[in-house]
Structure 1
Amino acid sequence: MKFLADMQKIVFIVVLLLFKGALGQEIVILDEEDHQPIPNVIVYNWDKSRTALSDFDGKCDLSKFDQGERITFTHIGYQNYRSTKSNVLRKGKLYLALTAEQLDEVVMSISKWEQQKKDIPQKISLMNAKTIEFTASQTSADLLQNSGKVFVQKSQLGGGSPMIRGFATNRLLLSVDGVRMNNAIFRGGNIQNVISIDPFTIKSTEVIFGPGSVIYGSDAIGGVMNFYTNNPQFSKTDSLQFFGKSNYRYSSANNENTVHVDFNLGKREWAFLSSLTYNNFGDLKMGTHGPSSYLRNNYVVTENGQDGLRENENTKKQVPTGYDQINLMQKVLFRPNSNWNINLSAYYSETSDYSRYDRLIRPSKDGLGLRSAEWNYGPQKWFMGNLQFYKNGKGKFYDGLKITTAYQNFVECRNDRDFGEDIRYSTKENVDAISANVDFENKRIGNLRLYYGGEYIFNKIGSTGNEYNIETMVTSPSASRYPDNSTWQTLAGYISGELKAKPNFTFLSGLRYSHVWIDAIFDQTFYSFPFNDADLSTGALTGSLGFSWFPKADLQLTFNGSTGFRAPNIDDVGKIFDSEPGSVVVPNPDLEPEYAYNLEVGIQKNFNDRLMLKGASFYTYLVDALVRRDFQFNGHGEIMYNGELHNVQAIQNAAKAYVYGFEFGLDAFLTESLSVNANLTLTEGIEEEQDGTDTPGRHVAPTFGDFHIVWKNQKLKTDLFANFNGEISSRDMAMSEITKDYIYAVDADGNPYSPSWYTLNFRSQYQLSNAFKLTANLENITDQRYRSYSSGIVAPGINLILGVGYTF
């Protein structure tokens, strides 16, 4: 019996040792930047006679390899790693770095389905979640600006209006998770709707440069900005999976305090993702070195019903510019089987009241004071409910099906009161937007892949106006900004194709027809309009044709020709507002769509995965351009508006325009840790009036770019970089900008102009542990005082950003 007991002990010890040995043969493979596990990493020896594969948790068993055997770890998108088995096991964890090669990236924006970026003839800028997190952007407008490829204008801190290739505002299209964000009151003036998108929830951002009307319809003339948010994650086991993250960030330039938290609950068939972000921004402080005309010397205070000027104790503080914002997101993902996914999402964003700073610094007519006592936007609210169905598999006419239905609600308010006046004028807009998209993918016709589908959008606009007497506290109705209960709708169908003519040559082409209807009835209570309604019905056919060619494996040439259009919306047809000092815009129901014709060529050269040079050149011609020009209202060139005589203007098909430019990029990978990247954009643009005279384009950005030196290892990433903008002289400024001389510096001849500027900046991110990540950035190190072209607010001075992230 004793002998049997001893044998049992020996067997137990042997099994235990074998078990320990097996455990000792396992390593975990992680992403070098975010320390997340990498599944499906292939491991093989020199002759590939033995292989292994990492699982969903990044774990890989190396027991089949000999102790001193040299093995290779490989995964698409990551650099290969070679070492001996014994060296790898001593570390216990292996970190893989992303590959320098970018031609195999996948994009969604061109067809709404996954495509290889190398097959796309248009320029596309991509930013993934890691890059977005590293930039520590306060808003999604800042996120676009930090890409180095998009210029952003700001009239106030709570804003950000992108400019792409000489176009902006309602000539660019915003999309969130495949749903069009542009609505029927997107205006030609600078807009701030992009700040409703929470940077903490963005999985990736894709910016298409040039027309995208074949897939996205009206407004996609200068480009398309697609934001894809995080999706819930299913559990890989039968048990409930729970994880999440939280972040805190502080910025010194505007005393920012931001908190964010999200968490994921997942089972095999159900998954839930909840997200909350709260921002508190104080008044923004400008830099020390720059034009003294940018300083905020005084501001308006109202005490006991009386307006007065107060000297600003800190002239670099832009009073008032601060505001608060909250963003919520909830997603529910259901996977009944391997072919179907159903995604129900809800998004909500709301700001506090925030001042329109450029209006608050306008001088009075005598130049001795300020014109406005109040000018602010009421809470900007955005809600979207989005229900999406995805089906993969072999249908009769498709291999993939997407059905996207969405409801959005937009709320905007404007409140303004002149200095010394008792009446505060207010308008409020409420837009209900319903949309439905059906998109198909067909991959079964040899080397031809087809994408086709349809879209319907309906917008209804509620618009009211009132006057409030601050002395008597009496409210009375006044003219609304837009025709109340007006509607805008569009119905469209499209087809596009991708033909792999040769392994190194890909054609892309597409056509779309869109029809747009406008129905608006004008209230004659406050103005005697020479018309009763606007009843527009117009259609547009757009197309594209391009190719991507690799004459050599390391050289890519692209060409793309495309058309785009923008149909008049309610803002064009029916708006009444004071566009600039002394002018008022009135409705004009006699409008037609504007069309853009675009050509683009591009080149990309890869030098041994160490150096990549990229360049693109474009030319866009816009006809029947919808522009604001002088107008006759009931036979008069001037009318009374808000108690003052104003010059009359209206949106008209009154010009042609052409824009051309060049875009350059560089990525150099000097070592595994050290890299350099840079971007440079040059744009020129002219508007041609009906009388043949030429004027500079309003939304043509100055030359701009950036230069980055990035160093990183497994725990630390740093980025020393410079941003720069060129000068726009007075003779190269649009007339509408010259009339806003109070936001510009003054040249030697006393004329307004936009000076050149630069900033030096430093970013760093340290992975303290698998759970904790620390951020320490110092922006505008030399404390420059500058105002970006066309912006009302002066940019931040020296700015310390501190952040901490915790993953649980």
Structure 2
Amino acid sequence: MKKIIILWALLGAYAESYAQVIAIKDREDSRPLELVTLSSEDPTVLLLSGAKGKVDITAFKGADRIEIRSIGYQTQTVSYDELAKPGFSFYLKPSSLSLDQVVVTANRWNQSSRDVPVKITTISAKEVAFQNPQTAADLLGQSGEVFIQKSQQGGGSPMIRGFSTNRLLITVDGVRMNTAIFRSGNLQNVISLDPFSIENTEVVFGPGSVMYGSDAIGGVMSFYTLMPKLSDSAKPLVSGSAVGRYSSANSELTGHADVSVGWKKWGIATSISHNDFGDLRMGAHGPDEYLRKEYVERIDSEDRVIQNKDQRVQRPTGYSQINLMQKIRFKPNDRWDFDYGFQYSTTSNYARYDRLLRYRRNLPRSAEWNYGPQEWMMNNLTITNTASGGLYDQMSIRLAHQFFEESRIDRDLNDSERRTTLEKVNAFSASIDFNKQLNDKQKLFYGLEAIYNDVISTATNLDIVTNVSVPGAPRYPKSNWASYAAYLTYQLKASDKVTFQAGARYNQFVLNSKFETTFYPFPFTTAKLNNGALTGSAGLVYHPASTWSLSANLSTGFRSPNVDDVGKVFESEPGSVVIPNPNLKAEYAYNAEVGVAKVFGNRVKVDLTAYYTYLDNALVRRNFTLNGQDSIQYNGELSQVQAIQNAAKATVYGIQAGLEIKLPAGFGLSSHFTYQKGDEELDDGTTSPLRHAAPWFGITRLSYTAKKMRLELYGMYNDKVANSELAQEEQGKDYMYAIDADGKPYSPGWYTLNFKAHYQLTDLLSINAGVENFTDQRYRPYSSGIVAPGRNVIVSLRARF
């Protein structure tokens, strides 16, 4: 029997060799490349590489010119004899200087970025593996084009074009992650996504409301997770990877594994990751105000203020996280494709570090301030149909259910009462999207969408001495929030050089809330909203030549009031309490932008985008009254009453610039730079800097690439913000910022120098290593409550099969 198996294997290998089957691979890491185009004119042949990059080139026999092309790689022309050389592998060299790449987010369908009149940045899984981000927030930040704010280690709130939190939209596999309790304060929901399971990330800058509805004002961050791969033969296709990683700045220990098994019609993919992060250590060189001099521990039933033995260690900041993903794919024929995905993420409790820095009467204000486990679960079914003729060429149906759970746990110093609020959201969504090629110049994208969120909020107050608990004041009213929409986008390819695109969306949003008046004497018991919003966009792309791209775009975006806006009760800052306001309308953004990109001699690429955004009817927190009173008792303290109101206008403008240079001998230089300025109207008619308009920031990289190795030296940098340039609400937060010569809080500028390396040990095994912030700078990114890591050594080992 053993002889028969060996003979069969030898015959299979001989047959494959005789048929001249080769594998197309990435030159840098030997990764197989699927869907690579191979073509020739004599003989006339067009082929695509399949599973594991394999393609039978027998049909090219005798050809002198075979063109091998794949987006993101240099096009190569070889003869059949060169392609058929012993080794059975052909390596493509990545090229980052093309103006053409495939994007999905702009219109929900695969299309060339050359035809899209807005700025889109893509982050590949290969780049993520090289940079080794600890969280999805770090993944976005290391692009150098998205600014990340952090209030604690278990967090990361993206800022894009002066907007943040619930004015930015997050989607996962085409499903919106934003819920009715996404707040205007900093958000950390993006950390629920696992960088190891993300296959591609796209960031659309500027309003995306025509395609995605509410919240897409500053931009859309779209994450696409691993898909099961199908086999093109009777033999199952098995692939996967395993990763182990250590980082020194927080003693991180991370493990990950994923596997995909594909048959001709069925495929499954499984992914699991576990992260354990210790307390975060800051750098040695920087403001002394950032040092963690003392912290609170409860010892022998007593709160004690402990002197920190190592003031550079931020105690407590550690936490752990688990991510799971399971996908099933069924493709019975070329016309139908069914994809089901299950994703789950949960964290341990983790400290809201910036809240632990506040003092009252020269003692820490809080003994504990934690977020409870952040739990997210999604079930998503996507059905795709390809038709010939009729109302559409392609149709995609998405049905999804998401469950979110989060909680806040706090207790003041020497207070026996521990307050806990718990929020649960069930989010249901259904959408149907179509695209239709009317003729060789015109195309339509259109669809319908329905969203429903059910919000339940509870609270308990526990006496930790007697262990007796009683109901507490919930953060939100019992609520439901719904959105119903229809959209249409028209694209005209007027010529090979000119593409025009315009679209519109109508959205109806409905909110119903029932308030708990046991704890607060609100003059109302319910809140109801039922309003509509109309948004549109129009843009033009002009290519004078294949190396030139000019674009212009006008667009509007909106955000409808959600449960967090209408019904929240919480302490915004010491001495202030936010109460419900049921009289709110949607806020609108009006945006204009122009872009230019140019490739010079396949060696230099320059791109520049300038934009201006005006936000009207802005939902902002302002002083308010309750039953005629401007202050009430809250958590035992007389507090100023505030509420979210349509009380402001805001403007933001800026530029985004990019430069890429291919240097000789495998070297390369790239840089991204963002500058923005924003202002917000105050109650007295004056203006204040917009809180989420980050100071200018950027990243510059010098890289070297060989066949099995990649090295990169890069710097990240961020301008300072003087006290007078801080948003009005930030100017008094001395616990969070450094102190200037006048004794006022400000945000110093900073830079880091970093080094990353990748080496492909074998086709299956690779090692990544790096040193981040190797000059050990002590810095706190603008508006952040936690100090960034000091010198951080990262080592990871990856096995791929």
- Give the TM-score of the pair, scaled to structure 2: 0.95
Q: Report the AA paired with residue 735 of structure 1.
A: Q
Structure 2 SS opposite 1:523: coil
- From 134, 152, 155, the counterpart of 1:156: 152
Using the TM superposition, give the Cα deviation of residue 52 of structure 1 relative to its aligned residue in structure 2, in angstroms: 9.0
User: Is the counterpart of residue 406 in structure 1 residue 393 in structure 2?
Assistant: no
- From 509, 515, 518, the counterpart of 2:511: 518
Q: Deviations over 1:104-129 (max 9, x none)?
A: 21111111011110111111110111
User: Is the counterpart of residue 381 in structure 1 residue 388 in structure 2?
Assistant: no
Q: Deviations over 1:362-387 (max 9, x none)?
A: 122x2x22110000000000000001
Residue 483 of structure 2 corresponds to 490
User: Is the counterpart of residue 263 in structure 1 residue 291 in structure 2?
Assistant: no
Q: Report the AA paired with residue 241 of structure 1.
A: L
Distance of 1:420 and 1:50 partners within structure 2: 82
User: Is the counterpart of residue 417 in structure 1 residue 398 in structure 2?
Assistant: no
Distance of 1:87 and 1:153 partners within structure 2: 49
Using the TM superposition, give the Cα deviation of residue 138 of structure 1 relative to its aligned residue in structure 2, in angstroms: 0.5
Structure 2 SS opposite 1:456: strand
Whether the 8 Å CA contact 1:279–1:326 is kept in 2: the answer is yes
Residue 333 of structure 1 corresponds to 329
Q: Cα 1:768–1:437, aligned 2, differ >3 Å: closer, same or farther?
A: same
Using the TM superposition, give the Cα deviation of residue 498 of structure 1 relative to its aligned residue in structure 2, in angstroms: 1.0
User: Is the counterpart of residue 251 in structure 1 residue 247 in structure 2?
Assistant: yes
Whether the 8 Å CA contact 2:244–2:796 is kept in 1: the answer is yes
Residue 6 of structure 1 corresponds to none
Structure 2 SS opposite 1:579: strand
User: Is the counterpart of residue 455 in structure 1 residue 449 in structure 2?
Assistant: yes
User: Is the counterpart of residue 35 in structure 1 residue 30 in structure 2?
Assistant: yes
Which runs of structure 2 are paired with 1:618-657 in the superposition (5 Å)?
618-657=611-650
Whether the 8 Å CA contact 2:37–2:49 is kept in 1: the answer is no
Distance of 2:565 and 2:17 partners within structure 1: 71
- From 342, 346, 366, the counterpart of 1:346: 342
Whether the 8 Å CA contact 1:169–1:190 is kept in 2: the answer is yes
Which runs of structure 2 are paired with 1:258-337 in the superposition (5 Å)?
258-337=254-333
Q: Cα 1:115–1:473, aligned 2, differ >3 Å: closer, same or farther?
A: same
Residue 185 of structure 2 corresponds to 189
Distance of 1:540 and 1:404 partners within structure 2: 23
Using the TM superposition, give the Cα deviation of residue 691 of structure 1 relative to its aligned residue in structure 2, in angstroms: 3.0
- From 629, 632, 655, the counterpart of 1:662: 655
Q: Report the AA paired with residue 370 of structure 2.
A: N
Using the TM superposition, give the Cα deviation of residue 304 of structure 1 relative to its aligned residue in structure 2, in angstroms: 2.0
Q: Cα 1:380–1:42, aligned 2, differ >3 Å: closer, same or farther?
A: closer
Whether the 8 Å CA contact 1:50–1:65 is kept in 2: the answer is no
Whether the 8 Å CA contact 1:305–1:470 is kept in 2: the answer is no
Distance of 1:566 and 1:115 partners within structure 2: 27
Q: Report the AA paired with residue 242 of structure 1.
A: V
Residue 8 of structure 2 corresponds to none
Q: Report the AA paired with residue 648 of structure 2.
A: A
Q: Report the AA paired with residue 470 of structure 1.
A: I
Structure 2 SS opposite 1:113: coil
Using the TM superposition, give the Cα deviation of residue 711 of structure 1 relative to its aligned residue in structure 2, in angstroms: 0.9
User: Is the counterpart of residue 551 in structure 1 residue 544 in structure 2?
Assistant: yes
Q: Report the AA paired with residue 439 of structure 1.
A: D
Distance of 2:430 and 2:35 partners within structure 1: 37
Residue 119 of structure 2 corresponds to 123
Residue 686 of structure 2 corresponds to 693
User: Is the counterpart of residue 597 in structure 1 residue 590 in structure 2?
Assistant: yes
Q: Deviations over 1:749-807 (max 9, x none)?
A: 11110000000000111111111010011100100000000100000000000001111
Structure 2 SS opposite 1:89: coil
Q: Deviations over 1:18-68 (max 9, x none)?
A: 9799659765432213313345767789x94697967534355579768xx
Q: Deviations over 1:527-586 (max 9, x none)?
A: 110111101111100000011101233221110000001010000000000011111100
- From 496, 508, 527, the counterpart of 1:534: 527
Moved more, 544-553 or 410-419: 544-553
**What is the aligned residue count?**
786
Residue 359 of structure 2 corresponds to 363
Whether the 8 Å CA contact 1:563–1:598 is kept in 2: the answer is yes
Q: Deviations over 1:152-196 (max 9, x none)?
A: 000000000000000000000000000010000000000100000
Whether the 8 Å CA contact 1:100–1:610 is kept in 2: the answer is no
Rg larger in 1 or in 2? 1
Q: Report the AA paired with residue 250 of structure 1.
A: Y
Distance of 1:43 and 1:231 partners within structure 2: 24
Whether the 8 Å CA contact 1:494–1:512 is kept in 2: the answer is yes
- From 219, 222, 228, the counterpart of 1:226: 222
Distance of 2:197 and 2:359 partners within structure 1: 41
Unaligned runs of 5+ in 2: 1-10
Whether the 8 Å CA contact 1:40–1:75 is kept in 2: the answer is no
User: Is the counterpart of residue 467 in structure 1 residue 474 in structure 2?
Assistant: no
Which runs of structure 2 are paired with 1:85-104 in the superposition (5 Å)?
85=81, 89=85, 93-104=89-100
Distance of 1:124 and 1:52 partners within structure 2: 30
Residue 740 of structure 2 corresponds to 747
Q: Report the AA paired with residue 708 of structure 1.
A: R
Residue 713 of structure 2 corresponds to 720
Distance of 1:664 and 1:433 partners within structure 2: 38
Distance of 1:742 and 1:572 partners within structure 2: 27
User: Is the counterpart of residue 439 in structure 1 residue 433 in structure 2?
Assistant: yes
Q: Deviations over 1:255-283 (max 9, x none)?
A: 00110011112111111111100000000
Distance of 1:190 and 1:731 partners within structure 2: 22
Whether the 8 Å CA contact 1:109–1:226 is kept in 2: the answer is yes
Whether the 8 Å CA contact 1:29–1:60 is kept in 2: the answer is no
Using the TM superposition, give the Cα deviation of residue 88 of structure 1 relative to its aligned residue in structure 2, in angstroms: 7.2
User: Is the counterpart of residue 732 in structure 1 residue 725 in structure 2?
Assistant: yes
Q: Deviations over 1:626-664 (max 9, x none)?
A: 000111111111111111111111000111000000110
Using the TM superposition, give the Cα deviation of residue 94 of structure 1 relative to its aligned residue in structure 2, in angstroms: 2.8
Whether the 8 Å CA contact 1:659–1:684 is kept in 2: the answer is yes
Q: Cα 1:632–1:74, aligned 2, differ >3 Å: closer, same or farther?
A: same
Residue 785 of structure 1 corresponds to 778
Unaligned runs of 5+ in 1: 1-15
Q: Cα 1:234–1:49, aligned 2, differ >3 Å: closer, same or farther?
A: closer
Q: Cα 1:595–1:86, aligned 2, differ >3 Å: closer, same or farther?
A: closer
Q: Report the AA paired with residue 727 of structure 2.
A: A
Distance of 1:50 and 1:693 partners within structure 2: 69
Calculate percent identity across the aligned residue pairs: 47
Distance of 2:392 and 2:233 partners within structure 1: 32
- From 387, 392, 408, the counterpart of 1:393: 387
Distance of 1:278 and 1:132 partners within structure 2: 17
Structure 1 SS opposite 2:364: coil
Distance of 1:142 and 1:399 partners within structure 2: 38
Structure 1 SS opposite 2:724: helix
- Give the TM-score of the pair, scaled to structure 1: 0.94
Residue 805 of structure 1 corresponds to 798
Q: Cα 1:492–1:363, aligned 2, differ >3 Å: closer, same or farther?
A: same
Structure 1 SS opposite 2:363: coil
Structure 2 SS opposite 1:296: coil
